[in-house]
Structure 1
Amino acid sequence: MKLYKKTHVRPHVYVRIFFCLYHLLFVTPLFVSAQSTMQGIAKQDSKTGMVIAKPGTSVSNSLITPYFTPLGYPIGIADMQKATVWQPEIGVSIPFARNVKLTKADAARSNQIKKSTWALNVQGNLLSFTPHHLLDGHEQQVSSFAVTENTRKNWTLYMLHVAPEWRVGGEKWYTGINIGPSLVQNQPAQFQQGDPGQSVLYQNYVVPAGFHKLRFGAQGHIRFHWFPFQRGPIGFYAEAGYIWQQPYTFQVRERDISKVNFNLSPDEIRYQLSNPQIAPFVEKSYAIPHGFFEGHIGLSLVIKTKSSPPRVEQPKNERLVIKTKSSPPVVEFPVTYERQAKQGFQIVLDQPRPHAVFRSVDEVPAFRWHVVGEPPADAQYRLEVFQLNDRGNIVRQVASASVVPGEPYRLPAEEKARLANIPQTTYYSWKVTETTTGTSSGQPQYSVSGSASCGTVTDSIHIECDGWDVQSGLPKYQVKICLTNNPISATSGCAVSYTSISSNSGGTISNINVLPVSIGPYAHFCITFTYIPASLSQTTASFTTFGNWNDALHNTANVLSTDSLPSCICRDCDSMNIQMLNPQVQMQSADPHLFDITGAVQVNPQSVYAIEFSVQSFSFTATPGGCAGVDSLEHDGMLVSNGTTVNGSNAGLVFGNAPTGNPNIFKLIKWISSSPVPAGTSIPFDLVIGLPAASGGIDPSCCRIDYRLCLQVKVYYDACRYCTKTICLQFSNTTQKP
């Protein structure tokens, strides 16, 4: 029997489309790349004397990037079987080119900055899916007589996507994000299932003639490219995205096989499938693939040329010339000699030392610093001094001056006179910045106090995570502050005593080890304590350690210490042991739809404040097929309040997520203890749950039902903190509760 008339398919049309797309995406860009390697004529700016060309050394997020793969994996496609990994993709990302004019400072730092850029992404996809057949899952039982004949076995999508792409990355990698419209050509699947021996049709899957195969859609992707090989253009990429096209729903005429028993012999199955009383024809709605997620991994290329090291030359007219082929730019001064330019330099601060404490403003040494590496030829430097409050925040700018490497800088006399009139301990910080490139030093602190009669005290601070505080729900930190007593040069110095420590950032300090303490000259001592911040959003902490010099003046020697707070991850559940003791399931004799799940929960090493039970999933199989069904209350898979107990009674039970219309059934129950249950204590439970049973009129002994039920148990070891455990039980309706 021929169940349908085959239609003529012309696959060569789509082969031509993809061949043209391949030529557009790969052959043309490669030709353009070859042309870009030629020496071009520089374009000169008549106002500034700059020579403008395209940028030179290679950063991956600014280069043409073709990519392709035969591998992909779409998910979440309605009415389709699990997709195969053969899902080809081909595309190219072309950055938008632009001419740039650079100052000498911009050019000096251009190779160090990783900027974002925009590109045009052109992408083609071929996606193929197999629709669900009527007899999916019953192939073995019906293979002797059921036939599926295909005009087209798979539903195929030919997609063209063009969109702007935002890129960010560096020399060996970049990430691109794009979203935009697409054009989708649908090739619908078409098949029929039936029994040719008896001329019986089971399913006729065909899209109506009025369906428009060419449809508009949209796509969005995030794609990560990685180029690990320095001397080769080949790299790898991984992509995740979402694809959408205009939805369309159509009707398929098929038999309702829900009442067919596929455990019978082939002849009996054939009879039931052809019997309109058992398997009548129905109209069922199917949807085209219109909205789903997909991912790809594959190869990518970068189209670039070899880049030579930047050359810096001194011209007669002192004009900048920029010779470039791709970004970022390379700077040259067009004259007769060349030298290799070093790209990195660093500003190092020498004096005052970090966290130094001085007796007066006059004792603060001159500000000294030096440069490591080679800065730009026209580098300019600015030194800034700031006054801080006791939290480490800037109060005002004390000084700002242009400086030269190697030449010490001292505060102006009028500013020193003003600072000398401040009676209390005052904190300062300072830094040096190269203004043409923005390169800056660190910003260390020092302080001025009348307490520095014997020397200075320097400090270091280390903060690490130490779990979470159960009462406050905030992270705990172990803080270690180390202090060193540095006597004045050529003196014996004196001891310094510290008595207390406080937080300038809020929060609480506890378990201080050890205060008070006396630190002798040239001695080193560390103080440790536990710190809980004021809130979860706090990212830094500042502490003041209060002390005095052990000399005739007993001046203060307070030290301000500041550091960032590391992230803390709660790992309480890693050490919690939740055990389900002797779980059993029995059917109630009075109602075959109700089952009792009994057992006990035991938790170590934490105490238990509350326990929550919920049904995660359940499934069942009836023998013979079709003999089981749900009851009229529609509470199968739900917890029933009548008869449910925890810890021997229904006291403390709270029922949640009750469906409309039945106040006795719930999706979850929570037992709250009146006081914490000690660790290791067994907490018994008896949960009543509704499940499918033998249909009305069928003796339950003639209908065996096998169940699989999964429960989630949440154990609260604090009012708002819990750990979860999931248990799955397999049982049947043959065991009854006495």
Structure 2
Amino acid sequence: MKNKPALFLSIVIFILSIGLQNTNAQVSVKLQQPPPYQLRATDLWNLTLTNATRNTLQVSLAGTLEESGAGVIIDGTSKPFSLSPGTKRITYNDVKSGSVNFKSGKWREAFTRTGNAPSGDYTICIYVKNEKGEELGSDCIQQTIEISGAPQLVSPADGEKITLGTLPTFTWMPIMPSNPKAEYTLKIVQILGKQSPEEAMNRNKVFFQGKGIKGTMFQYPLKEKKFEERKTYVWAVEVKLGETIIKSMMNSFTVGSNLIDIKIDSLKIACCEDGKNNFGIIVRNLLSTPVNITQIKINNINGVNSSIALNPSPALTFTIPGNSAHTFTGSFDCVDTSRTISVFVKAESPSDPDIINTESLTDTLNCLCNECLSLSVNFNNFAAALSGNAGNQFVITGDIVPSVPIYGMEVEMQSYSYTANPSPCTNGITNLEESGMFLNPGSTINGTPVQLFNETASGSSNTNNNASKIVKFSSTTALSGNIPINLIVGLPGPISGLDKECCNISYKVCFKIKLFLDKQSCNSCTFSHCFEFNNQ
């Protein structure tokens, strides 16, 4: 019986180990992996709980979202609930009545406006706790997000005419951020009748499709079927990342005829005067045979399709001899708030009206000085919320809605005032380089980080070069509709260490906003907007 003590000790150790395992694993947690390149608010609360005990437990969930380099950016807690023995599926709907805390306005902006987390490496963790706050189980998963901008088509440009018999080279800009593993698919479809490019792409038989293209340039193959004269085609590219397909916009192009070829040499449109815009357009016949100009009309205003017939002098139909040009002049009724106007010219062969050629050209009206009187801006849904824990930084969100397309804006902190209750609860301005300043990182306009303007560099070693009274945003394309802002500002806060509930501070902040009406930021209109809020 020498082995009895050793056997008894082994049994005791085995029983204790089982008991410890049961104690530490009362509830098992299994987080569901979100789809690739996706991380929405609902994905943080998609899990399965298994109560391994025989008792119903009173539990709550605590969740964190951590971004590599930034630490925990969001945390939340559910309300207590009963967890019966067995397995229970948990979704966002089960916990949405709980609390959530964003560590900065940047992350709140991303989830509320775009619905998805910005690019980055994330860790999602869920902890199950009992009524005493003791942890009963947990699980963590990793998720990588790469938000890619769609490919931008370059050539053939939208509406471009290519010469019959040529093999066009299709080029585009890559997805952003660049992905060396990206493989593109090029798709070309013929437009039939009066179809829109979208209808043709979705309904018609594919004219040509190239797959697995590793670069951003593709020469149309000689062996493939030829593009037909006077036919119009639409093309687009797409790229697949995981389960996500990113598609470009669509460009259409027309195959020109060797029998007729015109070009618009110039287009000049004058400012509105006495209710009329005067115009002059020079059309050139590039071939030796004559051509009939049968139609001149406005086909686009401020980037929006239109159709306004023009009655030029000389009257149409007008024949332009071979290898020569002619000037057409006239006027049309002013169009309110017009900034850019595109004119369309149609030409026909004198011997065969079915042989046609069309061209268009856009002119930017240089008459914006008085237009500020008719331009209006709405400031929608402006709100302010505390940013961080210092009590003296706020994230201001809202939408700026101009009545005309713009190419950017400057926002200047014009003035601010505040009233504290009780008044001794604040020391007022304690940091000259942050109070009344826009702060980075985190400030965005239209989802893009702002450019600091006139940084506060004072020469001091304590200078905050991420603070500025003016921030600027520029766009290469015209913007219209709601333009969201997400600006972090520094303002006087409560005395250090004093809870904000003990110091009610009311603020009035006034901005001066300059809207740029052209790409070069030469023409602008300026507006002011004030709004009030408090720190509670």
TM range (shorter): 0.3 to 0.5
TM-score w.r.t. the length of structure 2 is 0.32
Larger radius of gyration: 1
